Amino acid sequence: MPTRTQAALTRRPPSLKAEAETQANEIHSRRMAELDALAPLLAHLDALRPELTARKLTIYPDSVSLRRERLTGGYSGPHTKVLRLTTDAMFDHSRPSRWLAALRELGLRVLDFDKTGCSYGTVLLRKGPLVMRVDLANPDRDALLAEQAKPATAPSMAMPQAVQPEPVAA
């Protein structure tokens, strides 16, 4: 009678089909969990879809994913759910520019962007609870750097001078 160890050594591994099915089920489960976590962000993005469609920009289901990032910079602070929208910058270099222009016109403001000039940079945008990261073309990065370098055109944020009381006539 074979021992337990011998039986384990002589047992056949699962079939390749069974391994592939297991892997496919794991991938599916992870994607469904990701979509559940993305649901609130996707609802806000859905509100922008008509305007994006009018600009001939289409959001494909496989182009959205979830990232968790610290918006405070560095290694401290809470993680925030960020919707990552891939715009296929590798295949059409004008597409990231169109996306960035459209999203900014729709009220999303730039929180941060890659300032290094890497080939495939990204920009972080926010509008209310919607925080998203999209691809960034180098000309747009240069424009954002120039925007950032401009002095603020808003009214001065300096502290107002103290108001001196007028003397009271006796």
Does the pTM of the predicted model rise above 0.85?
no
Q: Which residues of 43-57 are buried (b: 16+ CB within 10 A; e: fewer)?
A: eebeebeeebeeeeb
Question: Is the confidence at residue 60, as pLDDT, over 60?
Answer: yes
Task: Write down all domains in the chain, each with its CATH number in brackets.
Answer: 25-148 (3.30.460)
Residue 142 has a pLDDT of 86
pLDDT digits (tens, 9 = 90+) for 107-123: 999 998 887 767 778 89
Residue 89 pairs in a beta bridge with: none
